[in-house]
Structure 1
Amino acid sequence: MALPPAYSSDSLDALYSEPDTSELPSYTRRPTPPSSTRSSSHVYKEFTTELSRKGQPWAVLTVLADGALSASLPTILEGSSVTGSVKLNLDKKDGIHSVIVYVKGSIITGSHSGEQFTFLECSKTLWSQSTAINESTSLNNNNNNNGRSQLRGDRLWPYAISLPKEIVLPIASKSSPETFRLPQTFLERHARASIQYSVNLLISRGKLRLDHRATIVFGYIPITKPSPPSFLRQLAYQENSPLWGPDSDPDGWHTMEPVRVEGKIFNARMVNVKCTLSLALPLCYTRGSAIPCFMTIETIDWQALDLLSSPRAIVMRLRRRIRASAETGKTVDSYGWKDAVDDSQLAAWWPSTEGAPDGSKPRREINGELHLPIDTKPTSAMAHFRIEYSVVLFPFDTAGFDSEGTEPLCTVPIEVATSYAVGPRPRTYTPLGYKSYHALVPSQQYFSFSAPSDWM
């Protein structure tokens, strides 16, 4: 049986490439993103929110984001600054103490304030009374109000706030704190916890006076990538040829210990089957690509061998585990974890043609791959929130065979990244005639902070 043709996708080059440093056209009375995030090929989209008085906006908060990534919400890539502007329109003198913009990242486990944990807060003061005396008199300031500076008229402040790649949090009973990478925005309908980022405007008026606030929620995407695969796998991707199996490329595969499967065939006799599962190394895979798999099935019962080596008899899925705790303290080693487990993607399989076939041996070798949708959330860890993945091999499921057990045969922890490894782009190998390898359990979510569908 010849292998099916290979398919490749270069759809994420724009998303995960380093930002271009070429200049954008200048804007009139609008902030221009820093040179590290500007690109002549990008169209920036504005997102605004307003504070109104008597039906007229007097304070406007604006966030600029890449229009290709930002549909309903502004979306920021790791390494890019949060940029925008704050505009005030004051028709009379106003005793504002300060104008501050800050970026906030939170883990939300409930509706109460005690169920929200802030792991990120970066601020920038755009104006304050204490520094207003150093500003130019052309900025419509009045410094004769009992020694206090007051704002009046139209004011526009651009801002750019850099986001750290990592956050350091203390851990109880340990001598050193733990470092966490900023997680991707996470918001799903049935999840008990979420990750939310926001840009916030705070207009402070001092004691006994009401402060004014405005907020724009944005999406954040970290840039994570696996290590390069083995030389032989890179060569296969480059030449658009079939992948080498574990025997030919031992450095390119992680092979599990063999598992024994017992069951009854056609309700007539018991059979004993040995299965050996291999996954491609490294055990970190980019979303939008596929996880290469390889399985060996051995049994002295020829009828059972033919039955269980059918591609549709092998059940292997992607498992996602969301770990969260309602506790929001600043230590992470005593949380009461609660897990939510979801088994979704189903792997595709087809007979291997590597090496000369030998029908005299009671053994079958099968190639496979497990597709990772482009909107798969990457592996994350932040304080009392985790997104973890594993590949789970379940008992065989085919007519004529009844397995003795129902528990998974083996589980392999993996990681999901957002960017591709250095080297040739991974290819997918879709078996001829197999049409149902996509997810059987659709995900339910509010937003998807990934590449637009028209990039595929």
Structure 2
Amino acid sequence: MPPSSSSRRHTLTHGVSTPNFLAELPPQYTVDAESSQNPVARRRLSHGPPRYSNAVALELQRQGSSSGQGSTGQHQHEFHIMNANRSHAWTTLRIFSRNAGSTPQFFGGDSISGSVELDLEKPQKINSIILYLRGRIITSSLEDGSYAFLDHAVDIWNKDAGDPRATQAGGKRFDGKLDGKYRWPFNFAFPTEFTIPSHGGQISHSFQTPQTFHERGLNTTLEYELFLHINHGMFRGSSKLHVGVAYVPNITPAPSSPLRRRAYLEGVSLSSPGEDYAGWYSLHPVILQGEMSGRSGVEFRCILSLANPLTYTRGTVLPCFINIEAVDQKVLDTFANAKIIRVCLKRRISYTRNASLVLAHFKANTRGKGSSLRQDEMTEIVEDTGQAVWWVPSNAAFYGPNVRCLEGEIHLPKNLYPSCMVPFLIVEYYVALSIDLSDVFRFTSVGSHDSPIISQPVTIASFHGEGPLPVAFTAPPGKRASGLSSHRRAQSNTDVFITPRHL
């Protein structure tokens, strides 16, 4: 009779110790006791909080993710198909992955390795054993509420291959009856890309395989599973085993500038945008005009600069720098204030409302690569994920009497979902600058106080690239469960982008 249930067990393979990447990806910041007493490190700020560092833990993470060997010296997971009375596991799926938790996890470039094992108490007819790796986007529990964008099949064994215990090929055709113990090892790469056919299957569009996606409050889920299918023939139902797995793509930033790398290594202040042109990306200068304290024609100029390249690893920081220029000293002192300069990292999520539309759209589509669903087929949400902390740089006096500058950083939550661009799930990030001075100032040139003055798209990476690890120089915000604002709002109701006057 076919088995009636399945079970799972997780064991740790002894030998090489591997950090728990699932729980600490990337790890939290910890105080570096030495740096707080190190005069070189203290040069980073003339005054303020101590230097914070997570270099050791992040270096372990980077070494673990760059080896490309996701099957060596790792954690072992076992999953079983039991017999009818649950007294015997006649099928075991053994998987090696990076983490010791209940869900096996894999990074971009990893291999999925393990074995399929049978322990048959009596002869069973088996035609084939196939292991599938599947990725699905799920929008509802209905039959058409999911779409399998990834379906990778691995043939473990089939009866046409003959008796597994046969010493040589050929001879009598094997009838598929197996008895006793068998073991088939497997090893295959987790696909880093997937394709969706379009235009009648004549064209295929390729996309980077996205990370597993589960977030409370969003009506969409992106999940992966290993599906073991054992075919017994036409007179008996197949035996099946479903195992959920997690995936993290390998997205890394390009190397930073030589001056920035040296600053991270030596623990000194980052060079300013005027000193390190390659290390900063300066947005277009913006002139803001309005009325303040009954005076009209008040004007000031600001330039927001972000660390270059514009890709930042979650769990680290996004350095930023702002220059504010004005002829009137009172205006300059009013606006060059860390309490009113608001620079936030925002996240825009767009996801399909109906998974069944994905394939239909691409089959009918004749346009070029990268086409996604129509706007009316997507749900869009915009939310804050972090806000800059500011301080006055130690060399601020060198900028002149009509210029004020602030240096800062945005702490990136370690569990930020990396940037993603697939037809059914788009996760984008951008940095937005706004001014919070509605009680004393009224804009006449750029709209409301709630609207961003200027914004810049950025990329959130999952892992670190080459070079020294980024260093945070302020304490991260208090512990947050999700790292996201609790108030989610649709973009059409909140973020109204304006067109400021550029120089």
Tell me whether the two structures share a fold, i.e. TM-score over 0.5. yes
Q: Check the 8 A contact 2:70/2:97 in 1, yes or no.
A: no
Which sits farther off after the overlay, 407-416 or 262-271?
262-271
- Computed over aligned residues only, the root mean square deviation of the Cα atoms, in angstroms, reads 3.3
Partner of 1:309: 336
Aligned partner of 1:8 among 50, 53, 63: 53
Q: Structure 1 residue 61 and structure 2 residue 100: aligned? A: no
Q: Check the 8 A contact 1:393/1:411 in 2, yes or no.
A: yes
Q: Structure 1 residue 181 and structure 2 residue 208: aligned? A: yes
Unpaired segments ≥5 residues, structure 1 = 22-34, 446-456
- Cα distance between partner residues in 2 of 1:38 and 1:109: 32
Q: Structure 1 residue 408 and structure 2 residue 448: aligned? A: no
Q: Check the 8 A contact 2:107/2:248 in 1, yes or no.
A: yes
- Cα distance between partner residues in 2 of 1:277 and 1:158: 55
SS in 2 for 1:114: coil
Shift of 1:152: 2.1
Shift of 1:86: 2.5
- Cα distance between partner residues in 2 of 1:175 and 1:2: 63
Partner of 2:468: 424
Structure 1 residues 439, 148: CA separation in 2 closer, same or farther (over 3 Å shift)? closer
Q: Check the 8 A contact 2:419/2:428 in 1, yes or no.
A: yes
Aligned partner of 2:120 among 82, 85, 90: 90
Q: What CA deviation, in whole Å up to 9, does each residue of 1:138-191 have, x standing for no partner?
A: 89xxx99x9622122333333222222222334559996433121111111122
Partner of 2:401: 360
Q: What CA deviation, in whole Å up to 9, does each residue of 1:203-222 have, x standing for no partner?
A: 11233532221111111112
Q: Percent identity?
A: 28
Q: Check the 8 A contact 1:185/1:197 in 2, yes or no.
A: yes
Q: Check the 8 A contact 1:52/1:59 in 2, yes or no.
A: no
Aligned partner of 2:371 among 321, 329, 333: 333
> One-letter code of the match for 1:351?
V
Which sits farther off after the overlay, 256-265 or 218-227?
256-265
Structure 1 residues 52, 117: CA separation in 2 closer, same or farther (over 3 Å shift)? same
Partner of 1:32: none
SS in 2 for 1:425: coil
Q: Check the 8 A contact 1:114/1:328 in 2, yes or no.
A: no
Partner of 2:20: none
Structure 1 residues 295, 211: CA separation in 2 closer, same or farther (over 3 Å shift)? same
Q: Structure 1 residue 378 and structure 2 residue 418: aligned? A: yes
Aligned partner of 2:386 among 334, 342, 345: 345
SS in 1 for 2:261: helix
Q: Structure 1 residue 369 and structure 2 residue 414: aligned? A: no
Q: TM-score, normalised by structure 2?
A: 0.74
- Cα distance between partner residues in 2 of 1:81 and 1:228: 26
Shift of 1:355: 5.7
- Cα distance between partner residues in 1 of 2:399 and 2:187: 65
Shift of 1:386: 1.5
Structure 1 residues 417, 334: CA separation in 2 closer, same or farther (over 3 Å shift)? closer
Partner of 1:393: 433
Partner of 2:286: 259
Structure 1 residues 225, 262: CA separation in 2 closer, same or farther (over 3 Å shift)? same
Structure 1 residues 269, 345: CA separation in 2 closer, same or farther (over 3 Å shift)? same
- Cα distance between partner residues in 1 of 2:261 and 2:276: 11
Shift of 1:130: 1.5
Q: What CA deviation, in whole Å up to 9, does each residue of 1:344-397 have, x standing for no partner?
A: 211111112336446632x21111111111111111223322211111112325
> One-letter code of the match for 1:136?
R
Q: What CA deviation, in whole Å up to 9, does each residue of 1:309-329 have, x standing for no partner?
A: 221211111111112222221
Q: Structure 1 residue 102 and structure 2 residue 132: aligned? A: yes
Partner of 1:291: 318
Shift of 1:49: 4.3
Q: Structure 1 residue 122 and structure 2 residue 152: aligned? A: yes
> One-letter code of the match for 2:54?
S
SS in 2 for 1:76: strand
Structure 1 residues 419, 48: CA separation in 2 closer, same or farther (over 3 Å shift)? same
Q: TM-score, normalised by structure 1?
A: 0.81
Structure 1 residues 358, 295: CA separation in 2 closer, same or farther (over 3 Å shift)? closer
Which sits farther off after the overlay, 170-179 or 322-331?
170-179
Unpaired segments ≥5 residues, structure 2 = 1-44, 363-369, 487-503
SS in 2 for 1:340: strand
- Cα distance between partner residues in 1 of 2:95 and 2:150: 18
Q: Check the 8 A contact 2:313/2:460 in 1, yes or no.
A: yes
Structure 1 residues 386, 151: CA separation in 2 closer, same or farther (over 3 Å shift)? same
- Cα distance between partner residues in 2 of 1:176 and 1:55: 48
Q: Check the 8 A contact 1:260/1:273 in 2, yes or no.
A: yes
Which sits farther off after the overlay, 196-205 or 421-430?
421-430
Which sits farther off after the overlay, 99-108 or 205-214?
205-214
Which sits farther off after the overlay, 277-286 or 153-162?
153-162
